[in-house]
């Protein structure tokens, strides 16, 4: 139980070291990962059922060559594409937002350094160090968050496109 208290204290100290922008970055990264996990769960569970239902519905049709049948097929594929791509644009936005928030942390931290220098000159190294850490920690956190998200959002985007293409290829037009 002591290790849990130590972990919370370390996280609290790290968050205080980075300043208020680091809290915003942490919330952004948390939301990004919630959406990533949701998409992974969707691909492993709901999507398989959805694919099977669409495929069964299409295969149970008597006629598949008319213009109306083709429009129904396109509608099924479009709805499937929409459901597989849901949330991916938001994840991409959050990934892009992470380094920008890190840059905001850099700017606010450097403003703190300049304020210390304006008040006490360059002789107060301790006060300047707090501003420098407030500038560098959010930058690092923003980059780590973006890097972790870039890989997974690329994998999710490719998987969604692949699944849509696979469904489109599997809906036969014979009969």
User: Which pair of tokens denotes residue 3?
Assistant: 């290790």
Q: Are 121 and 73 in contact (CB under 8 A)?
A: no
**Whats the size of the chain, residue-wise?**
175
pTM, entire model:
0.84
User: Which pair of tokens denotes residue 87?
Assistant: 């949330």
Which pLDDT score is estimated for 122?
A: 67
pLDDT in tens, 95-147: 999 999 999 998 988 888 888 778 877 667 777 777 787 888 899 999 999 99
pLDDT in tens, 3-34: 888 888 888 888 887 788 999 999 999 999 99
Give the model's confidence band at 77: pLDDT under 50 very low, under 70 low, under 90 confident, else very high: very high
What are the extents of the domains in the chain?
22-57+64-170
Which pLDDT score is estimated for 165?
A: 95
Which pLDDT score is estimated for 61?
A: 87
Burial of 22 (C-beta count, 10 Å sphere; 0-12/13-18/19+) = buried
Which pLDDT score is estimated for 102?
A: 93
CB atoms within 10 A of CB 141: 24
| Percentage of the chain modeled with pLDDT above 90 | 61
Unique residue bearing structure tokens 């301790």: 126
CB atoms within 10 A of CB 37: 11
């Amino acid at each position: 139980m002591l290790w849990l208290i130590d972990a919370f204290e370390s996280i609290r100290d790290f968050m205080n070291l980075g300043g208020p922008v680091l809290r915003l970055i942490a919330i952004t990264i948390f939301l990004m990962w919630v959406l990533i996990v949701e998409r992974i769960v969707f691909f492993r569970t709901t999507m398989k059922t959805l694919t099977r239902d669409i495929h069964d519905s299409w295969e149970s049709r008597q006629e598949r060559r008319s213009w109306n049948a083709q429009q129904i097929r396109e509608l099924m594929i479009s709805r499937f594409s929409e459901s597989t791509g849901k949330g991916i644009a938001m994840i991409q936005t959050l990934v892009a937002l992470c380094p920008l928030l890190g840059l905001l942390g850099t700017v606010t931290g450097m403003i703190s350094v300049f304020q210390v220098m304006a008040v006490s000159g360059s002789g107060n190294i301790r006060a300047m160090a707090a501003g420098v850490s407030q500038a560098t920690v959010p930058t690092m956190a923003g980059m780590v968050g973006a890097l972790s998200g870039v890989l997974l959002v690329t994998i999710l985007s490719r998987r969604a496109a692949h699944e849509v293409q696979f469904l489109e290829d599997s809906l036969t037009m014979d009969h």
